[in-house]
Amino acid sequence: MSDLLTQAEYQAIAADLDFPRTAFIDGKYRAGSGSVFATVNPVTGDPLAEISGCNADDVDFAVSKARDAFEQGHWSKMHPSDRKDVLIKLCKLITRNRRELAVMESLDSGKPILDCETIDVPETIHCIKWHAEAVDKIYDQTSPTGDDAISMIVREPIGVVGAVLPWNFPLMMLAWKIGPALAAGCSVIVKPAEQTSLTALRVAELAHEAGIPRGVLQVLPGDGPSVGEPLGLHMDVDMVSFTGSTETGKRFLRYAADSNLKKIVLECGGKNPAVVFDDAENLDHVAGHVVNAAFWNAGQNCSATSRLIVHTAVKAPLMEKIKARLRDWKVGDPLDPNTHIGALIDAEHCKKVRSFLDKNDQGEGPFVAPVIYHVKTGDAKASDEIFGPVLSVIEVASNDEAIAVANDTDYGLAASVFTANTRRAIRAARDIRAGTVTVNCYGEGDIATPFGGYKQSGFGGRDNGVHAHDQFTELKTIWIDLTDPQSGDNVG
């Protein structure tokens, strides 16, 4: 924190930034064959850079380069310890350029510089480093055969991976995908969200500088139909790992069915509950977690707490404490290090978020201040993913009702429960159908814990932890007959 600069100093860095403007393919920046599009500063609406976008021809070219690199094996067959060293060198380069990346991320996404400096960039480095460090410590297995055979169960890199990213955490989602995929030995083609291409392009350049071979990490900017769809439909892409909306996630399942049955892993939306039971202790502490969970990143977070399900007995004092804490949350210029809530990503998203808000709460331009509504189950505010700084409060009369309401959603990404009773906490954690349930706190776990969703929040695997390595590998059984071939005993 003490390391933060002033708003004026950040503005000076911003004025000097050199933005990437083309795709990064086969080890170098290279203009795409698609339409040129502007990447826009969400605060001003002005273009930061004109980017030469990609199309299906560029996808074909990048896939052929990714496949060549995979088959040549300079990366995929490199000793895991050597892959680790290169990825750690990448982390050092990101660290050396961390300020530039933080400011670029803030300008391109509207995220507060405070978050970019203290969370997005450090967590990006931590994630890539964690997967790099893990990769030369994971053992393969043998299975319990009889004495006449031995079987090895080995994991091999899955091959060419498409990583399709959202705009809400451009750097961190890049790291969640490329960290384990590169550590596993895959070749990765990244499609950043069209709103936020800059930092992914810069990281690809740094990866090349770190020694990641040509074709192993490529970044193709462009919109969903121009780049995401041809990647999803490509016959020579082995897997797509996607983070974004449930609606687009479902498209990738169709792309896989219509092409080569590539593996699809989806991390999609959420309507995540914080459940506060009647015996919750220290309501100040609860309020702190709920406010962070609901309003961090302006609520543009798949795991944001967007429903507060609270027992009548504690509702009034808790709401007072939540409102008191919110008074400290400053909304405004993302480059001001005191800002907690920056700009929403773009005009289209502002329109969507505002469509849920009462007229008086709508704010102006790209800014929407935190807002709290008291709602009933069945209201759109209680069921739809708004993806903005909106907390919907549902009052319940019993702890059982709280769990039923928590589960009354198509989503199942994350949840939190607050109670002084350990048995109740564990019972609730087991009964809520969500990929992550936190007790007396809110969080996504950490880099060592798998993250992903039940129901329409996810499909096919988990980000983070060693489970993420599993995503990017194929499982192979190698069965070795130990009987004497001369004896003939081994033939059916």
What residues are labeled active site?
267
Shortest distance (Å) from residue 131 CB to ligand BAL: 16
The pair of three-digit structure tokens given for residue 299, joined into one six-digit string: 């609520």
The pair of three-digit structure tokens given for residue 85, joined into one six-digit string: 């060293």
N- to C-terminal Cα separation, the chain = 69
Alpha helices, H only, 194-346: 198-210, 229-233, 246-258, 283-295, 312-326
Q: How far is CA 14 from CA 8, 17, 48, 63, 331, in A?
A: 10, 5, 10, 34, 20
Between CA 256 and CA 263 the distance in angstroms is: 7
Q: By CB under 6 A, is residue 232 in contact with ligand NAI? A: yes
Q: Residue 335's binding partner, choosing from ligand BAL, ligand NAI, none, with beta-carbon cut-off 5 to 8 A by kind?
A: none
Q: By CB under 6 A, is residue 168 in contact with ligand BAL? A: yes
Which residues from 249-278 bind ligand NAI, rule CB under 6 A?
A: 251, 268-269
Alpha helices, H only, 195-275: 198-210, 229-233, 246-258
Stretch that binds ligand BAL, among 110-118, 202-210, 298-306, 467-475 (CB under 6 A): 298-306
Q: By CB under 6 A, is residue 229 in contact with ligand NAI? A: yes
At 105 the three-state DSSP class reads helix
Stretch that binds ligand NAI, among 39-47, 52-60, 159-167, 209-217 (CB under 6 A): 159-167
Q: By CB under 6 A, is residue 69 in contact with ligand BAL? A: no
Q: By CB under 6 A, is residue 169 in contact with ligand BAL? A: yes
Between CA 5 and CA 392 the distance in angstroms is: 35
Q: By CB under 6 A, is residue 177 in contact with ligand NAI? A: no
Stretch that binds ligand BAL, among 74-82, 162-170, 178-186, 187-195 (CB under 6 A): 162-170
Between CA 241 and CA 178 the distance in angstroms is: 10
Q: By CB under 6 A, is residue 317 in contact with ligand NAI? A: no
Between CA 102 and CA 220 the distance in angstroms is: 21
Determine phi and psi for 321, rounding to 5 degrees: -70, -35
The pair of three-digit structure tokens given for residue 154, joined into one six-digit string: 């080995």
Between CA 246 and CA 415 the distance in angstroms is: 18
Contact residues for 25 (Cβ-Cβ < 8 A; gap 6+): 58, 61, 62, 65, 218, 220
Stretch that binds ligand BAL, among 6-14, 72-80, 296-304, 395-403 (CB under 6 A): 296-304
**Dihedral sign of CA atoms 221, 224, 226, 231 in order:** positive
Identity (one letter) of the amino acid at 237?
A: V
Binding mask 429-448 for ligand BAL (x = CB under 6 A): ---------------x----
Shortest distance (Å) from residue 198 CB to ligand NAI: 14
Stretch that binds ligand BAL, among 166-174, 272-280, 313-321, 466-474 (CB under 6 A): 166-174
Q: By CB under 6 A, is residue 366 in contact with ligand NAI? A: no
Shortest distance (Å) from residue 211 CB to ligand BAL: 29
Closer Cβ to ligand NAI, 251 or 427, answer by number: 251
Between CA 462 and CA 455 the distance in angstroms is: 13
Query: Out of 387, 411, 451, 472, which residue is the one contacting ligand NAI (CB under 6 A)?
Result: 387
Give me the residues that bind ligand NAI (CB under 6 A), please. 164-168, 191, 193-194, 223-225, 228-229, 232, 243-245, 248, 251, 268-269, 302, 349, 352, 385, 387
Give me the residues that bind ligand BAL (CB under 6 A), please. 166, 168-169, 173, 243, 301-303, 444
